[in-house]
Amino acid sequence: MQADALNRRNLMPWMFLAVLAGALIPVVMALFLARGQARHRQEQRALSYAADVLRRSEDTGDQILHAFTALEREGWRPVAARWSGSACSAAM
C-alpha cells in the first residue's frame, strides 16, 4: 500500500503538468493563429488602400493629360512656351 501511495505522490505533479499543458496549448495556439489572421487582414487592407490610391492617381494623371490635349487643340500654349528668352534673362 505504501508503494502505491508513493507512486501516486510522484505522479501528481506530472498529472498536474499534463492537465495544465492540455489546457494552455490550445489557448496559446489560438492566440498565434488569431495574430497571424489579424496581420493578414491588415496587410490585405493596406494593399487595398494602396491599389485605390494608385488607381485614383492614374485617373487624375489621365484627366490632366486629356485637359492639356484639349487645350492644345484649342490653340492654347503654356506660358513657358510663349517666352522668347529664359526666365532669368536681362530682357525681363
Is 15 inside any structural domain?
Answer: no
**C-alpha pair distances (Å), 25 with each of 19, 20, 22, 28, 31:** 10, 8, 6, 5, 10
- What are the pLDDT digits (tens) for 24-82? 999 999 999 999 999 999 999 999 999 999 999 999 999 999 999 999 898 887 666 66
Is 43 inside any structural domain?
Answer: yes
Residue 13 C-alpha cell reads as 505533479
Report the C-alpha gap between 57 and 63 in whole angstroms.
10
Report the C-alpha gap between 71 and 65 in whole angstroms.
10
| Number of domains forming the structure of the chain | 1
Report the C-alpha gap between 66 and 62 in whole angstroms.
6
pLDDT at 62: 96
Is 80 inside any structural domain?
Answer: no
Residue-range definition of the domain harbouring residue 33: 25-57
Is 45 inside any structural domain?
Answer: yes
The segment with the largest mean pLDDT, out of 3-7, 9-13, 35-39, is 35-39
Is 30 inside any structural domain?
Answer: yes
Is 3 inside any structural domain?
Answer: no
